[in-house]
A = this chain, B = another copy of it.
């Protein structure tokens, strides 16, 4: 099995109307923006997408929109669907729904539950999703900050080995550079049968260091996929100094954006024209504080100059 998880897969925010209902038109435009920006695909209903605050029907509606945009955009654009759930059978059911609706892949995080042999249970999680969804690529999200599950390197490698449709690890377990290197070292000794890539997450905060250890792109919510694409392009071409220079140049923006709270990110998406409203669902704070909004505005000017139109994908000259 070959992995198509290379390049840039933005994690999508979910646009809500001020009354908290889904803004599906806005979602359609958001996905279309990522197509225009040259992303390889998009991951929906993840943590940033506030999937934990949605009903299953809402998830369904979002999948339909994303699959529709992808199917009519005229080029391969993959829709990856976050289907994590506290129950294994429900994770499998949600994954099957995604597959049935035409999604290209699912992203699954482990859930924290005390099992007598926790590692076996985590293998079972991925195995059961794989069994229920034959042929569907699975992204293993390793993100202890949201899951409280700390997966060892041997466990990660065991899952990839035993579940051949796991073709990507979104590796977000700190410190990421060390863990990426350890996984790749293991794979050098015992290669998995399928191709399995590692993508960088965490808002690209450690992007320069992760690429250095061999990640093959980004799956994260940083609102400038063009910049990530440029970094990744340089890194994959072996020009690590250029990758690092881009990283260093845009790092203040990455640092600012990854501050906790979905609202900060949605504000940036809003400024890029992806969302009409940055409204976040309760019980999270519904919007960014005015202080942060103003600091962000200054930062954008400092980064791109005052005349830059951010509502369109940035032309290459902006970041060369």
Chain A interface residues (CB < 8 Å from chain B): 20-21, 50, 52-58, 85-90, 93-94, 111, 113-116, 121-122, 124-125, 128, 150, 152, 174-175, 177-178, 181-182, 205-206, 208-209, 212-213, 241, 244, 247-249, 251-252, 255-256, 259-261, 264, 281-285, 289, 291-292, 295, 298-299, 302
Contact = CB atoms under 8 A, between A and B. Distances in A.
A117 to B, nearest CB: 8
Given A291-B213, A295-B212, A94 B55 contact: yes
Contact of A90 (B53, B251, B264, B289): B53
Given A55-B94, A89-B281, A150-B114, A205 B255 contact: yes
Contact of A255 (B57, B93, B152, B206): B206
Nearest to A245: B302
A252 B208 contact: yes
16 contacts: A21-B89, A55-B56, A55-B90, A55-B93, A87-B283, A88-B283, A115-B284, A115-B285, A122-B283, A124-B283, A174-B259, A174-B260, A208-B252, A244-B302, A247-B252, A251-B252
A103 to B, nearest CB: 16
A282 B87 contact: yes
Q: Count this chain's copies in the assembly.
A: 4
A177 B251 CA distance: 17
A54 B88 CA distance: 9
Contacts of A259: 174-175, 206
Contact of A85 (B53, B121, B150, B292): B53
A310 to B, nearest CB: 19
Given A94-B55, A283-B113, A285-B116, A295 B209 contact: yes
A152 B50 CA distance: 25
A283 B50 contact: no
Contact of A291 (B87, B152, B181): B181
B178 A291 contact: yes
A188 B88 CA distance: 35
